[in-house]
Amino acid sequence: ALVRRGVAPAAALAFLLSAPAVNPVVLTATAVAFPDRPGMVLARFVASLLTACAMGWLWQCLGRADRLRPPSRPSYGARGGGAAFWGSVRHDVTHAGGFLVVGATAAATLKALVPARWLSAAADHPVLSVLVLAALAVVLSICSEADAFVAASLTQFSPTARLAFLVVGPMVDLKLFALQAGTFGRAFALRFAPATLALAVLFSALTGAVLL
């Protein structure tokens, strides 16, 4: 919708990534989940914002219009405002719902298959622990309002690893990948998601080293 209204694709993609993680509700939930570690709130804000801005800049420099395929939408120009609104809602729900179901099913299945002993073994290795929690965030696909409480419970992991969990989850997970593939095309999602994941892990590690 933003792109159709004339917003630059790079700015729209930065908004897409930052909105779920850099907002008052999520930051407040993070503060509640980490009452003894207020730096986690600032670290999450900084790392998430840096990742979103970096992806916007990356798209501005390297992105191609043919890789961002907005879905075709029916025209409601000849209908009233109310009919156009509800027609648009029905179209969005029908288009995105199927991909959300597929992503949610895959996330639930993988969540049940991750052995707890693997997490305990990975927590002893600083670099591996960051990568493991980043991968876990992708698999679990937890909403950004609740992921801080899950991260707070992973006490065997370092603060930086838990920060990676908080930054990666709202930007790259199975449900989001399925939704992006259905909305913008698989070619876009296959490039956008890995790049976002790499930058999110990088900025989480750097921010954690400085602030945590």
SS in 3 state form for 31-60? HHHCCCCCHHHHHHHHHHHHHHHHHHHHHH
28, 147 Cβ separation under 8 angstroms: no
Averaged pLDDT, 151-158: 88
Does a structural domain hold residue 137? yes
Does a structural domain hold residue 4? no
In percent, the amount of the chain with pLDDT more than 90 equals 37
pLDDT band at residue 71, thresholds of 50, 70 and 90?
Answer: low
Range of the domain at 123: 9-62+89-211
Say how far apart CA 175 and CA 179 lie, in whole Å.
6
Does a structural domain hold residue 99? yes
Averaged pLDDT, 206-210: 96
168, 197 Cβ separation under 8 angstroms: yes
Residue 58's pLDDT is 92
Does a structural domain hold residue 40? yes
Residue 200 has pLDDT above 60, yes or no: yes
Q: Which residues of 20-55 are buried (b: 16+ CB within 10 A; e: fewer)?
A: bbbeeebbebbbebbeeeeebbebbbbbbbbbbbbb
Higher pLDDT, 13 or 7: 13
Of residues 132, 145, 149, the one with CA closest to residue 204: 132
pLDDT band at residue 173, thresholds of 50, 70 and 90?
Answer: confident
Does a structural domain hold residue 30? yes
Rounded to two decimals, the pTM is: 0.79
In tens, the pLDDT along 11-22 reads 888 988 998 888
Averaged pLDDT, 90-111: 55
**If you average pLDDT over every residue of the chain, what do you get?**
80
Does a structural domain hold residue 105? yes
Residue 109 has pLDDT above 90, yes or no: no
Total structural domains within the chain: 1
Does a structural domain hold residue 72? no
Does a structural domain hold residue 204? yes
